[in-house]
Structure 1
Amino acid sequence: MTDTTSLPLPASTEDDHYGEISVELLGEHREKLVVSGERIPTVTIVRAPEAEVDDHIVIGTRDPRHLTITVDGEDATIKPGKGKLRRQTYRVDVHHGGIHYRLVPNSIPFSKLTRDGKHLGDFSSDGDRRVIAEWQEEAGTPEALDAAIGYALSAAFGTGGQPMWMMLVDAISAALP
């Protein structure tokens, strides 16, 4: 029997449009992130066993060779950026059913979710699997798939990022006596 006492409890949030959404980190090595809810499709992101694990990322890696994503059991494609200095490098792209989703930092706490280039909403997550979504009214009501993808990517990779100038100031300040 597997000891699951050290596994974290599901994190849940109440979405304005889709009710309770649950985020679970599963597996012996916490390699599977599952986002589900009564009114959204289930999205599962899995890290391959051979992947080098980065403890700063909930799912453990940004290497697309070691990640898979499914939507209600149907394969999709996930491609995270490398996550270097510029915010744009922290983007995560998903292609599913002819739709292109992108989550990319747009401020210190938030990342914006786009569907085929249209800004749908802003997401915030501190890496504790709890996600807050602020949907753009002018974008209309988000689809259930929009919510599922947005919550999954935000929980798996975190959100937000400092602007490059702020990181440079921090680096210079740290180097000064």
Structure 2
Amino acid sequence: MSVSYTVSDPIHGDVDVLFDPEMGVVEVRNGGSCATLTRTVSSPHREGIPIGTRTQSELSLALDGDTVKLEVGKGVLSRRSYSVSAVVDGSTLTLVPVDDANSAFTRDGDRLALFSKDEETDPRRTDAVWTTTPSRNELVIGYALAEAFDCGALNGAVALFESLILGTPQ
């Protein structure tokens, strides 16, 4: 089932987001910029990862049709390990969870925005609160990464404790 929505960004206007988890494609458009993140293999969709995989070799990121270097953290014990980075125009743009519901989006380590999803009102919609004015390219990359990899992550110790107490989800 694909999800499509428009966010009214106060800086750059309407941001159009299209996400098809089954096909493994996220496309974000704003003005003349377009970021497309694609799962390049037809492997089964892995639960808990909206794009379906965290395996770097199974993913492709393009900005306005040009390939962008993507670096995907392994996703083990720390939140930082769940980071995802893209190198754009000589800068490293990184999405990294800061708590269980929010992820920081940074440029070369400086925060640009905080991305989140409201699980109660609309868990399919990603929202950003910008702390610095992003370029259009930064904006579409940020939304694409947040949509594809979700926002937030449990701390490794908390996740381990929950799995021991509650059991592994089926």
Q: Same fold (TM over 0.5)?
A: yes
Alignment partner of 2:146: what SS?
helix
Identity %: 29
Matches within 5 A, 1:4-153: 7-26=1-20, 29-38=22-31, 41-125=33-117, 128-136=123-131, 140-153=132-145
User: 5+ unaligned residues in a row in structure 1: which ranges?
Assistant: 1-6
Q: CA deviation at 1:128?
A: 4.8
What is the TM-score normalised by the length of structure 2?
0.85
Name the larger-Rg structure: 1
What is the TM-score normalised by the length of structure 1?
0.82
Q: Contact 2:68–2:86 at 8 Å: present in 1 too?
A: yes
Distance 1:154 1:68 in 2: 15
Write out per-residue CA displacement over residues 112-153 of structure 1, whole angstroms, 9 at most, x where no aligned residue: 0111111111101359541110111xxx32221221111000
Q: How many residues align?
A: 164
- Greater fraction strand: 2
Distance 1:60 1:93 in 2: 17
Distance 2:48 2:164 in 1: 23
User: CA-atom RMSD, angstroms?
Assistant: 2.2
Q: Contact 2:104–2:111 at 8 Å: present in 1 too?
A: yes
